[in-house]
Chain A
């Protein structure tokens, strides 16, 4: 079966203003329904690669295509809804859990999406082992690990096609990490989503064979997955 290309990065170079080049002429193809693990040294550009894909940054040269069209041709808020990037440091607004989960639905570009009801939200919280939490609790009172899961759930409510996870388990204990990792795998398996995960941890997917992207020295190399 030929897998559809979701993201095509062609000859992309990138540098932050006034800084040395982070990427020089990188080209990668991301396929629909595939699971990518990204590794590489700190400061090597792993997060910047994700930021380029959801257009939080623009390449200094080259082009990125999403479903065959340049990402610059999409309305940025809509593009980011389809290519969801979840930051490493979980960020919430000053408010209750419900307000935080429904935050995306207050934005104009998401007005066409059906707002989930409390029942659905509670089920999702339970699925991520956050069942002790009430929707009326204040988000600020959650631990970093709980916030990380909350932000993951909030993103999934947008039904993105492509999910970019920046160290989603950095603040989680082993058990919670396993839940998040297995959810990420499920997204790929059951919903045919493309998932990219930056992970320092020894992340060993159990249900799927991931592809490995090694980001270092201004290059991105696709490598074979070696679980050892």
Chain B
């Protein structure tokens, strides 16, 4: 087995642009009007990934754990901000609860993976901690966004049922228990489905990358398994904390539902 990766030269990279030309021609021929988007997309892919490459090269040289953790925190801050923008909710503010739940659960999972499972020394070694953390954040961010969207939507649409339970002596947790469960499920199902389909329906990108880089497929699958279970764990923990904290904000101390219908 080949032990080192074959380098792609800049000329070869440029040759790759032929694929974009094919897509562009198809767009022109069928008047899809996608040429401009294709052009910007290609330019952004090149620019963003080259930039990322340089940043990672720089990051991997860092030997200060506080700097690595600051970068990790910044990534989570950005992810929490993305969720905040995606979940359209004006009545309650949920940025901080989401940020704290992500911080707590993602740090915990990333730490376990690098320190205990992979056994990296030191555990915060940026070459491991940052990409693994990034995969957790990227995947679980979607799960949290889906769960929160579901939670807030159901608290509004099922307002009558929730208030009926409150009127019959339920506390706010009892009254919104079904909604909480549905939101958690909605957030977790995609990562569980991914576990079902992996290796049959698709070969994960990370594993493909490792194999192309010359790794033994048997090592690559082990990493992939760790990644998959890590994502499920982070998704479960992150979604649970986020949904619990945000639900808390949707009710007053007097166990009153604060979300008003049609006032998002």
Contacts and interface: CB of A to CB of B under 8 A. Distances in A.
Given A55-B254, A58-B252, A87 B163 contact: yes
Report which residue of B165, B252, B263 has the largest number of chain A beta carbons within 10 angstroms of its beta carbon.
Answer: B165
A188 B167 CA distance: 20
Contacts of A107: 165, 168-171, 174
Nearest to A84: B167
Interface in B160-181: 160-161, 163-171, 174
A85 B171 contact: no
Report which residue of B165, B167, B256, B260 has the largest number of chain A beta carbons within 10 angstroms of its beta carbon.
Answer: B167
Interface stretch (A70-78, A199-207, A220-228): A70-78
Interface in B247-264: 252, 254-256, 260, 263
Interface of B: 160-161, 163-171, 174, 252, 254-256, 260, 263
Given A17-B260, A55-B254, A57-B256, A87 B160 contact: yes
Contacts of B170: 77, 107, 109
Q: Which 9 A-B pairs have the closest CB atoms?
A: A81-B169, A91-B164, A76-B255, A104-B168, A107-B170, A91-B160, A109-B169, A77-B169, A110-B169
Contacts of B167: 54, 56, 80, 84-87, 155
Interface string A87-115: 10101010000000001101111100000
A149 interface: no
Contacts of A16: 260
A58 B169 contact: no
Contacts of A158: 168-169
Interface of A: 16-18, 54-58, 72, 76-78, 80-81, 84-87, 89, 91, 93, 103-104, 106-110, 151, 154-155, 158
Contacts of A80: 166-169
A189 B255 CA distance: 32
A106 to B, nearest CB: 8
A65 to B, nearest CB: 15
Nearest to A76: B255
Given A16-B260, A58-B254, A91 B168 contact: no
Contacts of B163: 56, 87, 91
A110 B168 CA distance: 9
13 contacts: A18-B263, A56-B256, A57-B256, A76-B171, A77-B166, A80-B168, A84-B168, A91-B161, A106-B174, A107-B171, A109-B170, A110-B168, A158-B168
A78 B170 CA distance: 9
A214 B263 CA distance: 29
Nearest to B167: A85
Nearest to A89: B160
B258 to A, nearest CB: 9
Given A58-B252, A58-B254, A58-B256, A78 B164 contact: no
Given A56-B163, A77-B166, A87-B164, 14 more contacts: A17-B260, A55-B254, A76-B166, A76-B171, A78-B169, A80-B167, A80-B168, A91-B164, A103-B165, A106-B174, A107-B165, A107-B168, A108-B171, A108-B174
Contacts of B171: 76-77, 107-109
Contacts of A17: 260
A103 B254 CA distance: 21
A106 B174 CA distance: 9
Contacts of A104: 168-169
Nearest to B158: A91
Contacts of A155: 167-168
Nearest to A164: B167
A58 B171 CA distance: 16
Nearest to B159: A91
A89 B163 CA distance: 11
